[in-house]
Amino acid sequence: MTQQTVTSEFEQYCQELVGKYDIPGFSIGLAKDGQLFYENSFGYRDVENNLPLTSDTVFGIGSVTKSFTCVAIMQLQEAGKLNVHDPVIKYLPEFKTSNEEYTKQMTIHHFMTHSAGLPPLPTLFKALSKTVANDPKFDDGVNSEGDIGKVEQEATKEQSSVETYEELMEDIAKQEFTLLGAPGTEFSYSNDSYALLGAIIERVSGVSYEQFVRDYILVPAGMKNSVFHLEELNGHEDISSLYNSRKKDDKTIIFESNNPWDAPSMRAAGFLKSTVNDMLKYAEIFRNQGKVGDAQILTPESVELITTPHIECEKGRYYGYGVMVTPDYYGYKLVDHGGSIKGVAAQLNILPELGLTGVSFANLAGVPSTKLLFSAFADYLGKSVKDSHLSDVEIEISEEELKQYVGVYASGEGSKYTVGIEDRKLQVQAEGFELNDIKPIGNDTFIVSFRESELALRFVKDEHNNVIRAAFGFRQTPKVE
């Protein structure tokens, strides 16, 4: 039985993780049947000036934007303007990849479920390059940490910027890459697919993607502090600063970097900004059969399709349309999505059967904002905050068997890591971190403990049983050596 509350154990755990990861500011809100019953914040939206966080503080939401994109697509389907099983080229005739046959088979549904077969591509860097160039530079030659630093390196290379949907499609057409498989067969998280859903929304509706989201989702749902551009906030000053981190002499330095990244051709993949209060209104769409207050944003049938587990993205977890679906989260169906971009770690969770919704934000990327929201949900359900709903049993695997996974894996999106063996266990090394707590749970699948969370690592083999890719961080990355 749920206890309908959040305990001091959770608050202590929050305090602990906020301190451990030097999180400048963290904010969380939980609602039951649409009513906010718990809100809390730790740290500041602006550390230098000790400005507090509130439930109306504006943060980026990163990839949680993808669910808005799918809500918009479903609204267009309800209006009879498209069908999710239509081929993409019906609306984007200039979209091309090296495999013409597969390209023709790709549907809007495949883009919405990251199953079109597109591997991670470098287009996001190109789309971000103009704004990344305005980030603070340091003269010690040290890059910012994690994926952020990687993006900075990639984006500052000499390359054409990708600003429009047309340039995006032109760039993809010119790239040399192998599709992961026939459309619908392989899951690999794809920002490009979502960027192109923005193009489809624009072409079908006749207005810009941003305008469509504003007119048909944000305004009817009463999300008055949710925007794509901070300038649109009309005097609302409760906006979080953005923080970034860099390593210097084994120390992590957290610094303010108030230059929000933007990528006009990629806005449908991750560039909305919002607040705890607004996101809890938005979560009502998934909790309350499409209805927010008096506004019916979607039909119950569309919500059902969005929250259907369409394709497995890791063991026990599936991708719906713009949301992830865990059919058995302590016996309930969980709908969720996270978001990470510069100065943002966001998470949205919904347990429709319990009427429970929650959102969390941190103003620094790569910190366990997701873990903390899941801990609040576990706590609410009467579990320990450190509990996991996963019940995977570690299996025995010989060192000989482990050798097949050893190698370097690199993707066009900039991730590169080396898989090796140490003390008869797999080890993953990437820029800035080393992962040693890796447990085999069966069928080329492992669980990796990283920053308080458990990530799935799965190796993909060809028909000759050779390892050709690794699926990690929801992306399939080719084995390059």
Give 170-179 pLDDT, tens digit per residue: 999 999 999 9
State pLDDT tens for residues 461-475.
999 999 999 999 899
pLDDT of residue 454: 87
- In the predicted model, what is the mean pLDDT of residues 165-184? 96
User: CATH 2.40.128.50 spans which residues of the chain?
Assistant: 399-478
- Domain at 399-478, CATH from 3.40.50.720, 2.40.128.50, 3.20.20.140, 3.40.50.1580: 2.40.128.50
Least confident among 71-80, 327-336, 444-453: 444-453
Q: Let me know if 183 is exposed, middle or buried by CB neighbors in 10 A (0-12, 13-18, 19+).
A: buried
Map residue 71 onto helix, strand or coil.
Answer: helix
Q: Let me know if 197 is exposed, middle or buried by CB neighbors in 10 A (0-12, 13-18, 19+).
A: buried
Split at pLDDT 50, 70, 90, the class of 125 is confident
Split at pLDDT 50, 70, 90, the class of 4 is low
Asked if residue 445 has pLDDT above 60, the reply is yes
Strands 453-461 and 445-450: antiparallel
Amino acid identity, residue 318? Y
- In the predicted model, what is the mean pLDDT of residues 284-301? 98
Asked if residue 2 has pLDDT above 70, the reply is no
Average pLDDT of the chain? 92
Q: Which fold has domain 7-388?
A: Beta-lactamase (3.40.710)
Q: Which two tokens stand for residue 68?
A: 């808005």
**CA nearest to 223, candidates 282, 272, 270, 271:** 282
Split at pLDDT 50, 70, 90, the class of 89 is very high
Asked if residue 5 has pLDDT above 80, the reply is no
Name 400's Cβ contacts closer than 8 Å, sequence gap at least 6.
none
State pLDDT tens for residues 38-87.
999 999 999 999 999 999 999 999 999 999 999 999 999 999 999 999 99
Least confident among 216-230, 327-341, 418-432: 418-432
User: CATH 3.40.710.10 spans which residues of the chain?
Assistant: 7-388
Q: Which two tokens stand for residue 241?
A: 């600063």
Asked if residue 453 has pLDDT above 90, the reply is no
- In the predicted model, what is the mean pLDDT of residues 99-114? 98
pLDDT of residue 1: 41
Please report which residue ranges of 228-324 form alpha helices under DSSP H: 267-270, 276-287, 300-306
Q: Which two tokens stand for residue 381?
A: 């359900």
Under 8 Å between Cβ of 353 and 335: no
State pLDDT tens for residues 139-159.
655 555 444 445 544 444 545
Spatial distance between the Cα atoms of 169 and 178, rounded to a whole number of angstroms: 16
Spatial distance between the Cα atoms of 35 and 32, rounded to a whole number of angstroms: 5
**Residue carrying the six token digits 């069908």:** 83
The residue with greater pLDDT, 82 or 4, is 82
State pLDDT tens for residues 228-250.
999 999 889 999 999 998 887 77
Split at pLDDT 50, 70, 90, the class of 431 is confident
Strand order through the sheet with 438-442: 438-442, 445-450, 453-461, 467-472, 475-478
pLDDT of residue 149: 43
Q: Quick one: CA torsion of 257, 227, 84, 327, rounded to 10 degrees?
A: 70
- In the predicted model, what is the mean pLDDT of residues 442-450? 90
**Does the reported pTM lie above 0.85?**
yes
DSSP 64-125: GHHHHHHHHHHHHHHTTS--TTSBGGGT-TT---S-HHHHHH-BHHHHHTT-S-PPP-THHH
pLDDT of residue 199: 98
Split at pLDDT 50, 70, 90, the class of 251 is confident
**Residue carrying the six token digits 């939980």:** 30
Spatial distance between the Cα atoms of 195 and 123, rounded to a whole number of angstroms: 10
At 130, give phi and psi (nearest 5°): -65, -45
Split at pLDDT 50, 70, 90, the class of 389 is confident
